[in-house]
Each structure stands twice: as C-alpha cells, then as structure tokens.
Amino acid sequence: MNKQLLKYVVLFGVLICFANFADAQRRGRTTRNPATQDTLPKQNVQQNTNPATVGQYNPYANVPIIVAPQVGGFNDSIKVSLRNDGATEKSMFKERTPLPYEYLRQDDAFYTQRVWRDIDIREKINLPFRYQVNDDNGDQRFVSIMVNAVRSELKKGNAIAFSPDDDRFTTFLDSAKFEKALTGGGTCDTIPIYDLNDPTKIDHYEVVCNQLAPDDIVKFRIKEEWIFDREASRMFVRIIGIAPMKTIMGLDKKTERGATPLFWIYYPDLRPTLARYEVYNPKNMGMSRMTWEELFESRMFGSYIVKSTLDNPYNRYIKSIMRDNPMMALLEGENIKDKIFNFEQNLWQY
C-alpha cells in the first residue's frame, strides 16, 4: 500500500514538472512574438494606407521632384469671345443637322465592295484639316473636333470612341481609356535640373511627360462601303468609320515607319457634330460656308486606298502584298479605284 502511494506521488510530481515546462515555453513565445507581430503589420499598414508616408519616400536622395506643367496636347481650354469677333454676325451652325441618308435595301445591293483609305493632311488638297485657329466653338483642327465631340458626348452616348484593336466597333472606350489613348503611349522621364551657381549640384528633378499633340496627327483612316443600288441604278458610297492615326517613327526619330489608329468613331454618330463646324477656305474666308459633313459627303479630300475586299481573300493590306514597295502599293490602290469605277460604267451601253 505504501509502495503504490509512493508511485502516485512520484507520477504526480512528474506531471507538475511537465506542466510548468510547457507553461514556460508558451510564455516565452507570447512575450517574443507580439513584438514582431504587432510592429511589422502596423508598419506595413502604415506604408500602404498613409499617403503622407508614401509621398515622403524619395529614391533620389531627398532631392525635390517637380512635375513639369503639360503644354499642348488636347487639354488646352478655349476662351470664348466676349464681343463679336468680326465685322459681320458669324453663323456658328449651332442648330444645323445633317440630312438623313437615302435608304438602301439589302436586296437592291447588286454590287458591294468595302474600302479602307488613308487621308494624309500634308497634301495640299487636305491642308484645311490642319487649320490652326481657335474659335468660340473650340479648336478648328479636325482631330480636335473629333476629340471634343467624344468628350462632350460621353454622357449622351452619341459620338463614342471605340477601341483601335479592330475596326468593327466591338469595344467602347470609357473616359479613362480614351484619355490614355490621346497620350499615344507617351512615357514620363525624370530629368535632373542642375543648380545655376553650382553646375555639379542637382537642384531638383523634373518629371516631363511626352504627350501626343494635335499637330502630330497627320493621317486619318476611313472605312467606307461602295454599293451599286439596282433600284436607283447608281453607285453609292457610305463612310462607316473614321480614325486618327498615330505616326510610328524609327529609331532615328526621322524615318516614318508607318501609322496606327488611336481610336475609331462610327461616322454616322459623328455627322451631327461635323455639320456644326465650317471648313477653312484658303481662297476666300467669306465663302467658307461648307461644313465638314458636306466635305466628306462631297468627297472633297485626297486619299489613297490601303486595303479593300476586291480580290483579297486573305484580308491583307496592300503594303503587305506588295512587299513594302510604296510605289507599287500606290498604283495598286489606283487600280482598285479604277475597277470599282469601271464596274458601274460597264453596266451601260452606248
């Protein structure tokens, strides 16, 4: 009996020792971990949520960083004239609306071809596209008219910009994506500004952003469809979309390698805006009563064909077919234009 009691006492003492050892280990972990667990997460939260802490971080050795003011681009505001800016009352075409198109039935479309053509505004006939002047209704350059039309109609949903990835108007561009497209993929560079008194000392850093300017747009792409209507016995042409083109330069910044669309606009949505803007007349400003909508409908611009559906089962551009030979590509575009024209003429017998 005494031996069994002694065994229970020894076992009870061993259990107490293990309990004290486990409690000591637990207390050691709880005294060490809170310091690390409480401080590190708080620092992380502070770095992620406190804007003042993030703004104070400067990788340029605490030298001030200044963002340079953006000059040019499509963000210039236009001041409205407080008096009549002219000897006569000017008509701003504010209430003018374009005439609706004549209805064309699908069953009457005896012949249809789709054509893509580029307008180079550096040509003499296209110089009105580059008319650099500010009026009460904004910048008169054609690309600025397009940009202002999209910005003013974003809430109404009329003249909406579409993604440049395809010309089928499949993806809308919201306000943020549209403004990003206007930059043309420009980058921002940090340039050191040295002290005038000590050229070896950096006074501050200046962030300069390379933005796309309206004068950088020298080409526009038009997507149109030529239809011979058997009921009217005549050829119709309807512009479907129009896109400003960004020029792609070579490494030497002088050689032009090509152009790519910035965004597409469905032309019927843009017609009401174009009907309210006059076209510059270089010969007589008093006779400049033609609107941009009338200019496009009258085909009073110079262009060249870059792609068509005529004899093009692979849906390729002419320059890829002609192995980047500009002269042959231009002649092939003229050949396509002659084929479409001759189709209508060959239907008649004299």
The pLDDT tens digits for 2-49 are 666 666 666 667 677 666 666 655 665 544 444 444 444 444 433 444
Strand ranges (DSSP E) for the chain?
A: 65-67, 109-120, 134-135, 138-139, 161-162, 188-194, 202-209, 219-229, 234-249, 256-261, 264-266, 304-308
List the pLDDT tens digit at each of the 350 positions of the chain: 566 666 666 666 767 766 666 665 566 554 444 444 444 444 443 344 444 444 445 555 567 777 666 555 676 677 888 888 878 777 666 778 899 999 999 999 999 999 999 999 999 999 999 998 888 888 889 999 999 999 887 666 678 999 999 999 999 998 889 988 888 766 677 788 888 888 888 888 887 776 788 888 999 999 999 999 999 999 999 999 999 999 988 888 788 888 999 999 999 999 999 998 989 988 887 766 789 999 999 999 999 999 999 999 999 999 999 887 889 999 999 999 999 999 999 988 76
CA atoms within 13 A on the CB side of 349: 0
Distance of CA 186 to the CA centre of its chain: 11
Q: Where are the domains of the chain?
A: 65-70+110-302
Nearest Cα neighbor of 288 from 88, 76, 77 is 88
Nearest Cα neighbor of 63 from 236, 197, 194 is 194
The tokens of 136 are what? 């009460």
Asked if residue 44 lies in contact with residue 53, where contact means CB atoms within 8 angstroms, the answer is: no
pLDDT in tens, 158-173: 789 999 999 999 999 9
Round to whole Å and give the CA distance between 132 and 117: 24
